[in-house]
A and B are shown apart, each in its own frame.
Chain A
Amino acid sequence: MALFRRLLFAALCAGLLSGAVATLAHQFGTVPVILAAEGHEPTPAVGHEGHGHAAWEPAAGLERIFFTALADGLTGIGFALLLVSAYALRGGAMSPRRGLIWGAAGFVVFTLAPSLGLPFRLPGAAESPVFDRQVWWLATAVLTASGLALIAFRRRLPWIALAVMLIALPHVVGAPQPVAPGGTVPDDLTRRFVLIATATSLLFWLSLGATTGLFYRRIVQRA
């Protein structure tokens, strides 16, 4: 399992670095807006969104920041593992610059395409059932990734036509919409959140692309 250990180590290095970038971007960018939105909720913080019973949640302040940082790091490692696996399957020499292209594709697959149908939402916004949204989100990511792979690696007209159909399909079907409009979040706060979250996500994916390209070359491709 020498290859697995190398892939894992490369993903750990890239994921932790990019997770740290995401943590900084979130704490200074998105989290203040999330906290502001929670201030508009009828029952702020404790058991919000009507879970009915109060499950454990991190205390405000350092504990909450710690768990967000932990989740950001694990997200970074998880997506980094997917990227380095793709590099190994695809083959060919990697570099930070090539990694940037993969990172941009990751942004399109996991942020841009899903957010066309399910825009970034703040706590307290009106939502459709979470399971329906998860299914649509995952299907959109898988279809968009398949379409982009066909365009990048097949480059023949019939395949590109199929790719366009795959990428368009979830948007033609349409994302699940909130049963009732409304919610407690002011519109200007939502607009600000969409802008900041899109920017921090782009930063994360470009960082993840460059660092996975770098560590894949140094750790996996090193003889």
Chain B
Amino acid sequence: MNDQAVVAPTGVVTADGLRVAALAPVFLAAFLGAFLVWGVGFAQNDRLHNAAHDTRHSNGFPCH
């Protein structure tokens, strides 16, 4: 990983186009985030639902 890509003011998207090598960790982070939100807010498992119940209602995630 080239840290220049991270520090550069234009970030990982440079004038040369997308730095494909830098995109993998970014998409991995986004996927992990989406997975966490899905687990807390959307998974239709009774135990997960009951554990996260008040959070789901408070955040307006569709519940029940």
Footprint of B on A, CB under 8 Å?
1-4, 6-8, 11, 22, 26, 29-31, 34, 49, 51, 55-58, 64, 67-68, 70-72, 74-75, 77-82, 84-93, 110-111, 114-115, 118-123, 127, 130-131, 133-134, 137-138, 197, 200-201, 220-223
B6 proximity list for chain A (CB < 8 A):
2-3, 6, 88, 220-221
CA–CA, A6 and B28, complex, Å: 12
A118:B41 contact, CB within 8 angstroms: no
- Closest B residue to A54 by beta carbon equals B46
Q: At the interface, is chain A mostly helix, strand, loop or mixed?
A: helix
Instruction: Point out the residue from A34, A87, A111 that lies within 8 Å of B60, measured CB to CB.
Output: A111
A55 CB contacts on chain B under 8 angstroms: 46-47, 49-50
- How many residues of B sit at the interface, in one of the four size bands? 35 or more
CA distance in complex: A85, B49 (Å): 27
Rounded to whole Å, the gap between the CB of A51 and the closest CB of chain B is: 6
- Mostly, the B contact residues are helix
Measured in the bound complex, the distance between the Cα atoms of B26 and A84 in whole Å is 8
Flag if A223 contacts B58 (CB, 8 Å).
no
Min CB–CB distance B39 → chain A (angstroms): 7
16 interchain pairs, CB-CB under 8 A = A1-B1, A2-B3, A3-B12, A34-B57, A55-B47, A56-B50, A72-B55, A74-B39, A78-B33, A79-B33, A81-B29, A91-B13, A92-B11, A118-B62, A123-B57, A201-B59
In the complex formed, the residue of B with least CB distance to A125 is B64
Q: Please state if B54 and A30 are interface contacts (CB–CB under 8 Å).
A: yes
